[in-house]
Amino acid sequence: MIYKKFKILLHLQYKRPLKRKIWTVSLITSCFLLYSSFVHKAEAIPEIYAQSYIVVDAKSGRIIGSRNPEMKLPIASTTKIMTAILAIERIEDYDKKIEVPASCAGIEGSSIYLKPKQKVSIRDLLYGTMLRSGNDAAQTLAEFAGSKNEAGFIEMMNVRARELGALNSNFVNPHGLNNDNHYSTAYDLALISSHAMKNDLFKEITSAEKYKADSLNTYLYNKNKVVYEYEYGTGIKIGYTKAAGRCLVASAEKDGTEIIVVVLNDNNWFQDCYKIFDWAFENYKSYQMVEQGQFAGRTADGKPVFIDRSFSYILTDEEKEKIRLESEITVPHIINNRRTNICGTFRVYIGDEIIHTGSLVSDY
């Protein structure tokens, strides 16, 4: 039984870094939208050279540009994004030193030149995998995180991909050397990368320009020029093989708006990403749609209900004027084994399009 249905006008504030805002809403009985004849309209996305690409909001996953995003292609060393984040999620002690198996030394392609039985820390292997794209580092991580079972680790890579919604990917190795059965898509890589960049250690590693690897007695310099060449660059991984061409997953953040761009088989890889970043930051900004704990109405007996989880989304100026939120307050109930009382749902719209659905709760 639905007790009440509210329509809410959102007064959005632009998210700025290092400054937490309290987002307010006005509860009203009729919904109205504000329109302006002076609203800036988004420019068309620039043309780039990539065979396949995608541009997404790192926080909400909103896609704002793409071409052939679900085309299955070889992805070279961008594979190591999955290798690194899975190793981080499975290993507890990153400063533990492990012995390099003989099978992990001397692998072709990019290398940090590990030697059999050399003692190396997990942390240095993670940096060696992401900054220097060491195939030997990635292989060693896979052996250790897979409990000395590389095949088991590769299976975990594929299971994790499916859990993240990356359904058109298949991994057969942890480093990305060419194999006809090893592939992904721009869309899948964006999903995997968005997940990985939410991990503090992963983001710290991939954003580093250089790193002192004590167990290797050397400095590792990042091959990904995004982190020091583009003003707002934050990561994440390059890749190249003859079969895959030049592949790049790049991230950048400006004034709280974080964008991930994936380009596959793109000879103009870095400049194309910078061009897309400039376009995205010019035309889109991140806004907090709702805040956890935000008041959203009252039940029939007068008890307040609140937004369960925060939600942010990137919008153009034109779209910002079309945002609205509707909430439906119901009899309190418990779902999905949660102890929290669910008191209804809310939906965020751009015009008539639903962009997010969430729960209303009696406490948070």
Choice among 52, 121, 133, 251 that is catalytic: 133
CA distance 27 to 69: 40
With CA atoms as reference, report the closest residue to 313 among 10, 32, 2: 10
Choice among 15, 52, 59, 77 that is catalytic: 77
Q: What are the DSSP E strand ranges found in the chain?
A: 2-10, 25-28, 52-57, 63-67, 97-99, 119-121, 210-213, 218-221, 233-241, 245-254, 257-264, 285-290, 295-298, 304-307, 311-315, 323-333, 342-350, 353-361
Our answer to whether residue 133 is catalytic in this structure is: yes
**DSSP state letters, 102-154:** GGGSS-SSS-----TT-EEEHHHHHHHHHTS--HHHHHHHHHHHTTS-HHHHH
Residue 248 · residue 238 · CB < 8 Å: yes
Site of tokens 């991580």: 141
DSSP, res 248: E
Choice among 59, 80, 237, 320 that is catalytic: 80
Residue 270 · residue 248 · CB < 8 Å: yes
Positive or negative torsion for Cα 92, 94, 96, 102: positive
Site of tokens 């302006």: 36
Our answer to whether residue 121 is catalytic in this structure is: no
Our answer to whether residue 80 is catalytic in this structure is: yes
CA angle 169, 172, 176 (to 5 degrees): 80
**DSSP state letters, 203-228:** HHHHT-SEEEEGGGTEEEE-S-THHH
Q: Give catalytic residue positions.
A: 77, 80, 133
